[in-house]
Amino acid sequence: MTNDELQKPDIPDPDQDWQNAVKRRLTKLRTMPVELSALQAKVNAAIPRQRRSVIARISTSRMAEVIAAGFILVVVSLGLMFIFSGGVVVASVQDFAQFHEDLVAGRVHAVQVTTIDAANKALAAQDSLSPQLPEVPSEHVMACCMNSVKGKRVACVLIDQGGTPITLTVANAADMKSPASPTVQRNGVAYHVHTVNGLNMVMVERHGRWICVMGRLPSQRLMDLTDQLQF
Amino acid sequence: MKADPTQRFYAEVWPHAPEVQRLANILCQDPPAAEDLAQEVMLKAFRFIDRFKPGTDAKKWLFAVLRNCRTDRLRIEQRTAGHEQLSDFDWEPEAPPVVEEFSSDGTATPEQVLEAFSDREIIAALQRLPEEIRWTLLLVDVQGMDHANAAEVLDVPVGTVKSRAHRGRNMLREILRPVAARRQYDK
């Protein structure tokens, strides 16, 4: 048996606060910005990407049909948006899921912060019209950034809940609404619940703000967290 | 139909390049070495893309490749440069001291002590740890992997990962706490 195995991690540690603090401090390194341009250039040179784009695969004879169909699709989409949206855009579940993954992986430029107050200040410095983030009790705040979804401002903050990264995004309720989905009623509030590739997200409107909380935790846990938000 | 390796690489492996580069930055002493290591990992991942099973965890697979590349490099370095201990590097903490948030009676919470250190200083402290301990902390704490997945990457039992993580955090504390105390004293 090695020395490693002799040490029992389950024995109560009088310095547990230090253990937790070191873990949390190391977790913050995950949001450190990474410069990828040199690596990207070298890898692209060694492994050229496939040049056969979608357009190249479509024969010339079908190009006119594709363009016409695309034009009609755009006109119809714009018309529907004009009729139904009234300035409100529908959140794309796929886009938000991708954004969460990018934020967690450090592919999105984010500012490291440790409190919601600091996050609100950092976001306000970037954009004076940034939606205000609600207070998140007890969780560890790691990073924040602004995002634009179909031209609407979305304030985002990455928090750590027991080692699981959670993204909280906030928009003005006048700007954003949830896509149609099953809803769960809790305390008289309707939560829209979605799952994309194992990533759960709950969406809700509270205090004039549209909230989306997402992460690899059960939806119930995400709703618990949303319930605790302080506006 | 068999998927094109290039397409597979860019669709499944390349999205994890930022994490590979980040770990390489923390593992290596200088940026060019980190860049070289990350490049080697990505090219090796492409060369052996057939060994990556679709639908499995690409990040975990990539970290295992990273670990192999890093181990090979350390072996070569040790053969050419004698037996320098990885934990023997000098550590020059960054100036200026940042202890403003400490309370007036000199006590500070562990969080406050650690927040006073910059990312670079935390990384410098990590680089003083033995390689196996450092890897464990990188996977479990920095990357947030669970113990079972980290154990697979490191090819050790789960219990070893748990105990190494525990020891590693204690070692970091022992490296950083005297520096914090000295800074507070100097202030």
> For residue range A102-151, what is the model confidence (pLDDT) as tens digits?
888 777 778 888 888 888 888 888 888 889 999 987 667 778 888 888 88
ipTM of the complex: 0.84
What are the residues facing A194 on neighbouring strands?
A201
At residue B97, the pLDDT reads 39
pLDDT of A11-46, one tens digit each?
545 578 899 999 999 999 988 888 888 898 889 899
Q: Is residue A211 situated within a structural domain? A: yes
Give the model's pLDDT for residue B148: 96
What is the b/e burial string over A9-38, where b = at least 16 CB atoms within 10 angstroms of the residue's CB?
Answer: eeeeeeeeebbebbbbbbbbbbbbbbebee
| B22 has a chain A CB within 8 A of its CB | yes
Tell me, yes or no, whether B73 and B132 share the same domain: no
> A122 lies in a domain?
yes
Chain B residues touching residue A43 (CB < 8 angstroms): 14, 17, 39, 42-43, 46
What integer pLDDT is reported at residue A20 of this predicted model? 93
Residue A162: closest C-alpha in chain B: B144
Share of chain B above pLDDT 90, in %: 61
Q: Tell whether the model's pLDDT for residue A61 goes beyond 80.
A: no
- Asked which of B65, B84, B103 is the last residue of a domain, the reply is B84
Q: What is the pLDDT of residue A94?
A: 86
User: pLDDT per residue over B106-149, tens digit each?
Assistant: 577 888 889 899 998 999 999 999 999 999 999 999 999 999 99
B85 to chain A, minimum CA–CA distance in Å? 19
> Whole-structure pTM over 0.80, yes or no?
no
Residue at a domain's end among B62, B84, B106: B84
Give tens-digit pLDDT for B164-179: 999 999 999 999 988 8
Identify the domain containing residue B42 by its residue range.
1-84
The CATH number of the domain holding residue A192 is 3.40.1000
* A221 or B67, greater pLDDT: B67
- Could you tell me which chain B residue has the CA closest to the CA of A18? B110
CA distance linking residue B98 with residue A9, whole number of Å: 32
Domain extent, residue A220, equals 85-227
> Are residues A69 and A103 part of one domain?
no
pLDDT digits (tens, 9 = 90+) for B28-76: 978 899 999 999 999 999 999 999 988 899 999 999 999 999 999 998 8
Sheet containing strand A183-186, strands side by side:
A111-112, A140-149, A152-161, A164-172, A209-215, A199-206, A189-196, A183-186
Name the residue facing B17 among A13, A36, A165 (closest C-beta): A36
Please list every residue in chain A whose beta carbon sits closer than 8 Å to the beta carbon of residue B160.
Answer: 2, 4-5
Residues B95 and B79 in one domain: no
To test the contact with chain A by mutation, choose from B128, B163, B164, B170 the residue with the greatest count of A C-beta atoms within 10 A, namely B163
A64, A83, A102 - which closes a domain = A83
- Band (pLDDT 50/70/90 cuts) for residue A230 is confident
Q: Are residues A137 and A69 in the same domain?
A: no
Q: Residue A217: is its pLDDT beyond 90?
A: no
